[in-house]
Amino acid sequence: MADTGLLESLLRLLEKVDGGTDSQDVAADLGVDHQVIVGAVKSLQALGEVISTEQKSSKHWELTGEGREIAEQGSHEARVFNAIPDEGLPQNELMKMPSGKVGFSKAMSNKWIRLDKAHEGGPRVFKTVETIEDTVRDKLQLVQKGQSAKLEDKEKNELKKRKLLSEVTVKSYWITKGSSFSTTITKQETELTPEMIASGSWKEKNFKPYNFEAMGVAPDCGHLHPLMKVRTQFRQIFLEMGFTEMPTNNFIESSFWNFDSLFQPQQHPARDQHDTFFISDPALAHEFPQDYMERVKKVHSEGGYGSQGYKYDWKIEEAQKNLLRTHTTAVSARMLYKLAQQKFTPVKYFSIDRVFRNETLDATHLAEFHQIEGVVADYGLTLGNLMGVLHQFFTKLGITKLRFKPAYNPYTEPSMEVFSYHEGLKKWVEVGNSGVFRPEMLLPMGLPEGVSVIAWGLSLERPTMIKYGINNIRELVGHKVNLQMVYDSPIFQKPPKNKTEEASN
C-alpha cells in the first residue's frame, strides 16, 4: 500500500478539480514518478468507492538516455565548439573528447568550425563563428518540459533517428471522485478478529471488501466415485419402488445357473469361448439341486411344460463348467428357484453388480461392467404390467417418453427392447431390455403355473457416461481414471431437463 500521505495528497488534489484528472498530471503536479501514482490509485481502488477510475492509454515523446545528457550538457557539436579556444585545438586532442567524433562532424557540417590540415604541429581546428545557437538542446529541453507539441513532427522524427527521442505509450488513469469520496484515509481491516468482537472495535472499523469473483478454497475431503454415486441412486429408486436386493456377491457361476436354468441351449453362441470367460481352476461346479437339474435337462432335450424343447443331447459336463457370470440373471434364476421351494409369495427383486464378457474391447466396452436388473414375480402379471413398471422406473430417472420394440432373448418371451426419445438426437434410442421369463425356465423350478415373472435390465455405465459427458469408458472405470475427474464429478440427482432423455443410454 502506498503511504497514506501520498494517498491523501492525491485525494486533496482531486477534491480541487472538477470532472477529474489524469494520473500523469497528478504525477507532474506532485512531482513523483507516474508509476508511484499508479500504485496509489490501486490502493485507493481497494478502499471501495473513494475514487472511480477509467483506464486510458496515451502516446508521448520522451528523451532517451543520450537525449537527457544533451538536454543537460548541450549537443555534442555545441560541446565541441565550446571546447575550442580562440587559438584553436589540435584535431587529435579534440577527437579524444567524449563528444569528439560525432560533435566534430556535426559542427563541421554546421560550419561552426574549420580544420587547418597544414598547420604546423599537425591538423588544428578553429572556430569560424563567434557564437552558436544549440537548437538540438533547445528542442530536447522543450520535450523534457512536456512541450513536445511545440515541435514539428519532422523535427521529432529527426531526433528520433538520432536516438535522442522515443515515442512511448503510457497507461494512465482518469480519476474522478467516487461515491464515498473523502480526503482522509481510514485503514481497512481485512478480517474480523476475536479481539474486535470482544472489544466491540469492529463497530468503528472499515472492512476491506471481498473479491466475490475469486474461487473459494477447495474443502479438504474425500470423494465418492461417480459410477458408485449413480449406483447409489439406482439402488434408491428400486428401494423406493419396494424392490428387495438380491445377493449378487458371487462372480463365479456355473454354466448351469448362468445358461441352462435360463433355457439357453448348450450350443448357443453366448456360450462360446469368444463371449464368455470360463474358469480353469476351479473348472467345474460340483453341486446342483438334482431333481431340478433333471427337469432342466428334460425341458432342453425333450421339451415338456407345453414346450417342444430344443431337441438336442443335453450334457451335464457342459452345465458344470464354471465361468465368470455373464449376467446377474444367473442370480435371479437362483433366487426364483429358491422362491419356488417355498409357499409362493409375490416378490420384487433387484440387483446392480458386475458381469463379465470376453468380448472385443472398444471405447464403450470393457470385459466387465455393471448390470442393473429388476424382477417381479406374481400371479397373472401381463406384458402391459411390465410396460407399466418400466414406465414408473424410467420416470424416476426423468425419462417419460418410452416405446417398446419386439426383440429376441433366449429366456424371455415376449422380449422387448425399451426405447426412449432422445431430445438431443431427435430420435428413439435403446435404453434397456426387458421381457417375461419363459415357462421353460420357471416351471422346472417349481413355480406355480399361473405365476408370471417380468424382468428388465440395463447397464450402469451407459447412463453414467452420458451424465458425466464421458465418451471413453476407460475414463470412468478402472485404474487409469484421472482422479481429478473423481474429485470434480457432481452428484447424480436427476438428469437435467434438457438431457433427460439421454441419461439412460
Partner 1 sequence: MPTVSVKRDLLFEALGQKYTDEEFDELCFEFGLELDEITSEKDIISREQGDEKAEGASDVVLYKIDVPANRYDLLCLEGLVRGLQVFKEKLEAPRYKRVSPADGGEPQRLVITDETASVRPHAVAAVLHDVTFTQERYESFIELQEKLHQNICRKRTLVAIGTHDLDTISGPFTYTAKPPGDIRFKPLNQSKEYTATELMSLYKTDGHLRHYLHIIENEPLYPIIYDSNGIVLSMPPIINGDNCSMLLNLKSVFCVCLQAKTTLDMVVTMFSEYCEEPFTVEEAEVVYPDGRLCVYPELAYRTETLSGDFINKRVGINESAESIAQLLTRMCLRSEVSGEGDLIQVEIPPTRADVIHACDIMEDAAIAYGFNNIVRSTPRTYTVANQLPLNKLTELLRQDLAAAGFTEALTFALCSEEDIADKLRKNIAETRAVHISNPKTAEFQVARTCLLPGLLKTLAANRKMPLPLKLFEISDVVLKDETKDVGARNNRRLCAVYYNKSPGFEVIHGLLDRVMQLLDVKPDRNQGYHIQAAEDSTFFPGRCAEIFSCGKSIGHLGVLHPDVISRFELTMPCSAIDIDIEPFL
Q: Which is nearer to partner 1, 48 or 410 (CB)?
A: 410
Any contact of residue 267 with partner 1 (CB under 8 A)?
yes
DSSP 112: S
Any contact of residue 92 with partner 1 (CB under 8 A)?
no
Stretch that binds partner 1, among 57-65, 175-183, 188-196, 345-353 (CB under 8 A): 345-353
Any contact of residue 252 with partner 1 (CB under 8 A)?
yes
User: Residues 313-332 vs partner 1: string with x where CB under 8 A?
Assistant: ---------x-x--------
Q: Which is nearer to partner 1, 97 or 486 (CB)?
A: 486
CB of 505 closer than 8 Å to CB of 429: yes
C-alpha pair distances (Å), 333 with each of 3, 168, 301, 311, 402: 82, 84, 20, 22, 27
Write the single-letter amino acid at 271.
R
Any contact of residue 459 with partner 1 (CB under 8 A)?
no
> Which residue is associated with the grid cell 451424465?
467
Any contact of residue 491 with partner 1 (CB under 8 A)?
no
How far apart are the C-alpha atoms of 269 and 140, rounded to whole Å? 95
Any contact of residue 421 with partner 1 (CB under 8 A)?
no
Taking the C-alpha atoms of 147, 150, 154 and 158 in order, what is their torsion angle to the nearest 10 degrees?
A: -40
Given 71, 143, 389, 447, the residue binding partner 1 (CB under 8 A): 389
- Cell numbers at 247, concatenated: 445377493
Stretch that binds partner 1, among 65-73, 76-84, 179-187, 478-486 (CB under 8 A): 478-486
Any contact of residue 393 with partner 1 (CB under 8 A)?
no
Any contact of residue 6 with partner 1 (CB under 8 A)?
no
Any contact of residue 455 with partner 1 (CB under 8 A)?
no
Any contact of residue 440 with partner 1 (CB under 8 A)?
yes
Any contact of residue 490 with partner 1 (CB under 8 A)?
no
Given 406, 426, 469, 498, the residue binding partner 1 (CB under 8 A): 406
CB of 437 closer than 8 Å to CB of 377: no
Any contact of residue 238 with partner 1 (CB under 8 A)?
yes
Min dist. Cβ of residue 310 to partner 1 (A): 8
Taking the C-alpha atoms of 326, 327, 332 and 338 in order, what is their torsion angle to the nearest 10 degrees?
A: 10
C-alpha pair distances (Å), 395 with each of 106, 235, 251, 382: 93, 15, 31, 20
Tell me if residue 101 falls in helix, strand or coil. Answer: helix
Q: Which is nearer to partner 1, 21 or 329 (CB)?
A: 329
Region of residue 376 (left: phi > 0; alpha: psi -120 to 50; beta: else):
beta
Closest C-alpha among 63, 65, 124, 64 to residue 90: 124
Report the half-sphere exposure of 200 (CA within 13 A, side-chain side): 0
How far apart are the C-alpha atoms of 328 and 430, rounded to whole Å? 20
Can you name the residues that pair with 175 across neighbouring β-strands? 21, 53
Stretch that binds partner 1, among 15-23, 51-59, 102-110, 265-273 (CB under 8 A): 265-273
Q: What length is written for the chain?
A: 505
Q: Which is nearer to partner 1, 454 or 458 (CB)?
A: 454
Given 46, 224, 425, 491, the residue binding partner 1 (CB under 8 A): 224
Contacts with partner 1: how many residues (CB under 8 A)? 100
User: Residues 162-201 vs partner 1: string with x where CB under 8 A?
Assistant: ----------------------------------------
CB of 337 closer than 8 Å to CB of 292: yes
Tell me if residue 400 falls in helix, strand or coil. Answer: coil
Min dist. Cβ of residue 278 to partner 1 (A): 5
- Cell numbers at 380, concatenated: 397373472
Given 38, 151, 227, 431, the residue binding partner 1 (CB under 8 A): 227
Any contact of residue 401 with partner 1 (CB under 8 A)?
no
Min dist. Cβ of residue 419 to partner 1 (A): 8
Given 259, 356, 393, 411, the residue binding partner 1 (CB under 8 A): 356
How far apart are the C-alpha atoms of 260 and 333, rounded to whole Å? 10
CB of 466 closer than 8 Å to CB of 505: yes
Q: Which is nearer to partner 1, 129 or 228 (CB)?
A: 228
How far apart are the C-alpha atoms of 454 and 438, rounded to whole Å? 10
Stretch that binds partner 1, among 36-44, 119-127, 146-154, 413-421 (CB under 8 A): 413-421
Q: Rule CB under 8 A: which of 274-303 touch partner 1?
A: 277-288, 303
Q: Which is nearer to partner 1, 77 or 373 (CB)?
A: 373
How far, in whole angstroms, is CA 361 from its chain's centroid? 28
Any contact of residue 381 with partner 1 (CB under 8 A)?
yes
Min dist. Cβ of residue 502 to partner 1 (A): 20
